[in-house]
Amino acid sequence: MAELDITRLREDTPGCTHVTHLNNAGAGLMPRPVLEETKGMLDLEATIGGYEAAAAWGDKLEHTYDAIAKLINAEHREEIAVIENATRAFDMAFYSIDFKPGDKILTSVSEYASNVISYLQVCKRTGAELVVVHNDEHGQMSIEALKTMMDEDVRLISLSHIPTNGGLVQPVQEIGEVARQADVLYMVDACQSVGQVPVDVQEIGCDFLAATSRKYLRGPRGSGFLYVNKSVIADLEPVLLDLHAATWVAPDRYEIREDARRFENWETNFAGKVGLGVACDYAMEVGIEAGSERLRTLAATLRSEIESLPGGKTHDLGLVKGGIVTFTVEGLDPDEIVAAWAEEKINANTSGTRSTRFDMEQRGLEKMVRASVHYYNTEDEIEKAVGIIDGMLSR
C-alpha cells in the first residue's frame, strides 16, 4: 500500500478539526483546494460579474472536462457533460433512449430509488419492461443469471456500481462484457464509486456513466457529470434541449451539438463546475488506488468492531467491500445511534427501505446505520464511534 500522509490530508481538510465525518456517502468533506477554488469563482463573479468571471476562468472551467475524462479514463473529453447532479446526469441519458413496447431494462437488486422510479415511469409510458437480475451467493448481480436473461428484447443493462446502502461493489466489468457481447446499451450509476474505488469507463465498457461531485470525490454540492461513449452520442437525441445543447440555425430548424455537452443546459453552477475539476485533480493526486485501499481497510476495521459488539451485525454484501458500512445493533434503534453520535460530533446517516426497496425487502431490513468512511478518517475516530455504541449497550 502506497503510504498516504494522513496528517497532511487531514490538515488539508478543514472539516476534520470540527467533526468525525462518517457520512461520505452523503457528502464528503471538501479539501482546501476545492473549497478555495470554488469560493474563488464565486468571489470573482461577485467582483467582476458572472459572465466576465466565466470568461476570465474559462481555462479552469474547460479543465474540468479534462480532469473528469482523466479520472475515469475516458478516451475523449468530448464524452463528458457536466450536469448538476448524478440523478439528472443519469436521467438525461436514460430518458433519451427511445424504448419500444416489449424492450427490457435489466437492473440489479440493489438499485437506487431515483433510478428505479425513472425505469418505472419510462416503462409505464413506453411499454418497456423492468427486470431485476437476481444476486449470486455473494449478494452481487449474478453473471450467470444475467447471461441467461439476455435475449433480443433486452435494450439496456443499468445498475449502480456501489449502492447507496452498503459496501457492495458490483462486478461492473463482467457485466460490461455481457452487455458488449449482446450489443445492448450499458449504463452505470457511479455516484458512490467515483473517488471511492478505481472507475475506468474503458475497462467497464459502459455507454453511459453518471456521478456526483459531493460524495467520495469530495467536490462541492450541486455538480456532477455524465460520460457518454463517443459511439452512441450521435444516435441519442437528448430528451431536453436548449440553446446550449443545440443551435437554432433557421426559423424552423435546430442542430444538436456533436459532443456530450448536448446533455447539458446553458445555465449552471459555474463555481461548482470549477470545484468539481479541482476535486478530480485532488483525487488523482492523492491516488485513487492508495485512497481506496486505505478507506476499505478502515471500513473493514469498523465492520469487525461492530460485529464484536453484542447484537452488532453488519449488512454489507459482495466479494469486495468498499467504504460504506451498514449495520444494526440489537436493542438499539438506528436513529438512536446516529443521534448519540451526532451529540459527539460524529456524522453518519441511516439507510432505509425507500432508498433501495428491492434489496431491503428481500433481506427483511427496514433501517440500518450507514457509516461511510473515507481515507482521511482514522482508527481513533472509529474507536470513538464504536465506543459510544458500547456505552449505549451497557446503560
Ligand X SMILES: *Cc1c(COP(=O)(O)O)cnc(C)c1O
Report the interface residues with ligand X, using CB under 6 A. Answer: 85-87, 112, 114, 160, 163-164, 189, 191-192, 212, 224
CB of residue 162 vs ligand X: minimum separation in angstroms?
7
Nearer to ligand X, 24 or 87 (CB): 87
In the complex, the smallest distance separating the C-beta of residue 11 from ligand X, rounded to whole angstroms, is 28
Q: Which is nearer to ligand X, 87 or 229 (CB)?
A: 87
Element (H, E) at 308: none
Please classify residue 286 by burial: count the beta carbons closer than 10 Å to its beta carbon, then call 0-12 exposed, 13-18 middle and 19+ buried.
buried
The least CB distance from residue 151 to ligand X, in Å, is 27
Q: Are 142 and 136 in contact (CB under 8 A)?
A: yes
The residue (of 213 and 257) whose beta carbon lies closer to ligand X is 213
* Minimum gap (Å) between residue 302 Cβ and ligand X: 19
Q: Between residues 38 and 192, which has the closer beta carbon with respect to ligand X? A: 192
Specify the residue, 87 or 377, whose C-beta has the smaller distance to ligand X. 87
Least distance (Å) between residue 25 CB and ligand X: 6
**In the chain, which residue ranges form alpha helices assigned H by DSSP?**
6-11, 32-48, 50-56, 58-71, 86-94, 113-126, 143-149, 172-182, 201-204, 230-233, 270-286, 288-307, 334-343, 357-363, 379-393
d(CA 94, CA 119): 8
- The answer to whether 379 touches 20, Cβ cutoff 8 Å, is no
Smallest distance, Å, CB 160 to ligand X? 4
Nearer to ligand X, 168 or 178 (CB): 168
Cα separation, 43 vs 269, in Å, equals 13
**CB-wise, 69 or 89, nearer to ligand X?**
89
3-state secondary structure of 69: helix
372 membership: H or E segment, kind and range = strand 367-372
Give me the phi and psi of 340, to 5 degrees please.
-65, -40
Q: 257: which 3 cell numbers?
A: 451539438
Rounded to a whole number of angstroms, the minimum distance from the CB of residue 195 to ligand X is 12
Rounded least distance, CB 196 to ligand X, Å: 11
- Of residues 45 and 359, the one with the C-beta less far from ligand X: 359
Q: Cα dist. 52→97, 264, 271 in Å?
A: 37, 21, 13
| Nearer to ligand X among residue 354 and residue 395 (C-beta) | 354
Spell out the residues 6+ positions from residue 199 whose beta carbon is closer than 8 angstroms to its own. Answer: 71, 72, 161, 190, 193, 209, 211
d(CA 28, CA 373): 9
Closest separation in Å from C-beta 189 to ligand X: 5
